Structure 1
């Protein structure tokens, strides 16, 4: 069944209701893209194939040279490699992006160290990853992270964290979990006459009627102990180069 929001709503409003993506996209737009300009090299580490590269055109529009790297070959993938062993020389990139990748790697510390290694001194890493998320891309879903754990990984790799922001608060997470109900229902084998109306009702209730108020309520969650995930911006300190990953 097609997405009602994608069919009925303006693209920008539909994106805002996709709470699991909106906070990630806005973070890259606000924090990373303003730094990009012609002559700079940007690496999207763990980019996925082109259909998954949601910000590809916006990144290219900055004028920076964009390289994509993913474990699987496909359209839009420039380099096929494991992000724990990036095939680039030290200090190759001005900016490294890693969106919703770290939860899928076996050795997060090694991966963060590799991203730091390929950054130039003073270069920037922008990384997003879940704290609370349903299992996905099985069996390659190994970790969920708090911002405290991410800071430890970054600091050990010689990265100075400049900003850590949550991907929404408790009410955004609640909106996402309610929307997830549709995924559960689609997996159940129910008679068409029951299943289709039930899923449609959930799309309307959880995708529109309840989701917008929950997003609005999120402004009152100022402590943010319960969140979809974290967005971190970090800088590679020239005085503390990233250590080589352990063999």
Structure 2
């Protein structure tokens, strides 16, 4: 198991929480791994922070095996509360560290453009 983080503090936190695996400092837009290396990639609450999320998905696709899986989580840009507040004239701002807020359609378009297919939404 390998964990990659762009921030050293994230790696130190993983070590303190007893992560059992290799910890690497690096950038998801330039993964330091050969093609088709991983069976599974888990990317939790990351892509909304990236300037170039499509590039990151491309890199993840590159390092996944042909039948590999990507487990991806990100805040839902179509939350019902956001819609209701917009209709009431209230504009909710994104979290300050978020660069993007994705709809399901945007995510689907991004992953299919990079050669991945959607298996499940949950």
Q: Give TM class, smaller chain.
A: 0.7 to 0.9
| 1:88 aligned partner | 33
Give 3-state SS (helix, strand or coil) of 1:159's partner.
Answer: coil
| 2:73 aligned partner | 128
TM-score (norm: length of structure 2): 0.74
| 2:117 aligned partner | 160
Displacement of 1:103 in angstroms is 0.3
Displacement of 1:135 in angstroms is 3.5
Alignment partners' CA distance in 2, 1:92 and 1:147:
27
Displacement of 1:68 in angstroms is 0.3
Alignment partners' CA distance in 1, 2:49 and 2:101:
9
Alignment partners' CA distance in 2, 1:98 and 1:87:
16
The answer as to 2:51 corresponding to 1:106 is yes
Q: Residues 94 and 101 of structure 2 are in contact (CA less than 8 Å); yes or no, is this contact kept in structure 1?
A: no
Alignment partners' CA distance in 2, 1:108 and 1:135:
16
The answer as to 2:103 corresponding to 1:151 is no
Give 3-state SS (helix, strand or coil) of 2:117's partner.
Answer: strand
Q: What stretches of structure 2 of length at least 5 have no aligned partner? A: 16-22, 80-92
Q: What does 1:69-88 correspond to in 2, within 5 Å?
A: 69-73=4-8, 74-75=11-12, 76=14, 78-88=23-33
- Provide the aligned length of Structure 1 versus Structure 2: 98
* Higher Rg of the two aligned structures: 1
Give 3-state SS (helix, strand or coil) of 1:162's partner.
Answer: coil
2:61 pairs, out of 116, 138, 141, with 116
Alignment partners' CA distance in 2, 1:141 and 1:87:
25
Displacement of 1:69 in angstroms is 0.2
1:176-227: CA deviations, max 9, x gaps?
xxxxxxxxxxxxxxxxxxxxxxxxxxxxxxxxxxxxxxxxxxxxxxxxxxxx
Alignment partners' CA distance in 1, 2:38 and 2:7:
21
More helix per residue: 1
Alignment partners' CA distance in 1, 2:28 and 2:7:
11
Q: What stretches of structure 1 of length at least 5 have no aligned partner? A: 1-65, 166-247
Displacement of 1:163 in angstroms is 1.0
TM-score (norm: length of structure 1): 0.38
1:120-146: CA deviations, max 9, x gaps?
11000010101248633x3x3100111
| Alignment RMSD | 1.7
